[in-house]
Amino acid sequence: MRSKISIIGAGSVGATCAQRIAEKGYADVVLVDIIPGLPQGKALDMMESAPVLGFDSHIVGTNGYEETVGSDVVIVTSGLARKPGMTRDELLLANAKIITEVTRNAVKYSPDGIILVVTNPVDTMTYLVLNASSFPPSRVFGLSGVLDSARLSSFIAAELGVSVADVFTCVIGEHGKNMMIIPRLCTVGSIPITRLLQPEAIDRLVARTVNGGAEIVDLLKTGSAFYAPSAAVAQMAEAVVLDKKQVLPCAVYLQREYGIKDTVISVPVKLGKAGVEEIIELELTAGEKKQLTGSAEAVRELIKTVKPDSKGDGVTR
């Protein structure tokens, strides 16, 4: 029997993720969106590709949550794009309201499921989903390091003219300008890039990774990245559904790991059927620990904007 994955939000990231998952054949997919006809039309189009691509997964589009009942994984991609004149705080509060409603519906129909958050700012939204769901931290995590690591890996492979399969990168912390890249732990064929690239080249690739999403937005003019994000999300979902015990960097709630608590940042974790089955603590230098703490503090400042107060319905952890 195939697993069931529901994707909330049928935009470019959600729809492309649905197609990627369906093609693998290990899960049926429910695509949800509030726009009438949008998820239904995209789901039908995907289903009509099945005979060509040879997959038997079932894809259904819907404007409600009833079809999501009993989902093993719920992927949340819904949210607003920033509009002209809208401040960052206004966007954050608007998406917080949407995500809270989505979370309550996801929990109602899939109380035993796992929630994977994609909506930006993803670290803050993951924290909000965790509180709104009352799920244990192991069952709520966000896209972050997998995407950032993929971007850096692709840049390193192109720079050195090597296969991306030989590149391993270490990107942790906030998904944004305060992300933390550790060059000494980034390797090509087990050789640290600090031995393969000049410091100037490393700095250039790091800066490009930090601005990876913005670079694509600037090129597209309208819209943002979705091919790489959807691939990253699909990899994370697959690690859970197939119980791979795969080590991937994900945005997770920390409870004193790395000396950090009550915030969400990306760190390496082991993903399996139970969700985040282990948080892996890297051995960091004093300088690296200070940088990671600063990255976590940047996320904590955003969280303060949406964190439920003592009279709210959030969960204190």
Per-residue model confidence as pLDDT tens digits over 148-169: 999 999 999 999 999 999 999 9
Q: What is the pLDDT of residue 84?
A: 56
Domain check: are 59 and 165 in the same one?
no
pLDDT at 311 over 50: no
**Residue 278 belongs to a domain with what CATH number?**
3.90.110.10
Domain check: are 120 and 169 in the same one?
no
For the chain, what is the domain count? 2
173-210 residues labelled b (16+ CB within 10 A) or e (exposed): bbbbebbbbbbebbbbeeeebeebbeeeebeebbeebb
Q: What is the pLDDT of residue 82?
A: 61
Distance between CA atoms of residues 250 and 150, nearest Å: 13
Contact 138, 277 (CB under 8 A): yes
Q: Is 316 within a domain?
A: no
The amino acid at residue 134 is S
Q: What is the pLDDT of residue 99?
A: 95
What mean pLDDT value characterizes the chain? 93
Domain check: are 86 and 180 in the same one?
no
Q: Which of 139, 151, 175, 270 is labelled catalytic?
A: 175
Domain check: are 97 and 156 in the same one?
no
Domain check: are 241 and 277 in the same one?
yes
Residue 94 lies in domain: 3-142
Q: What is the pLDDT of residue 305?
A: 84
Domain check: are 184 and 243 in the same one?
yes
The residue among 123, 142, 161 that closes a domain is 142
Contact 213, 226 (CB under 8 A): no
Catalytic (active site) residue 175? yes
Domain check: are 132 and 187 in the same one?
no
Task: State the virtual CA torsion across 113, 118, 121, 125 in degrees, nearest 10.
Answer: -10
**Residue 10 belongs to a domain with what CATH number?**
3.40.50.720
Report which of 317, 313, 315 is spatially closest to residue 101, judged by C-alpha positions.
313
What are the tokens at 55? 């997959």
Q: Mind listing the pLDDT tens digit for each residue in 20-73? A: 999 999 999 999 999 999 999 999 999 999 999 999 999 999 999 999 999 999
Distance between CA atoms of residues 277 and 257, nearest Å: 14
- pLDDT band at residue 221 using 50, 70 and 90 as cut-offs: confident
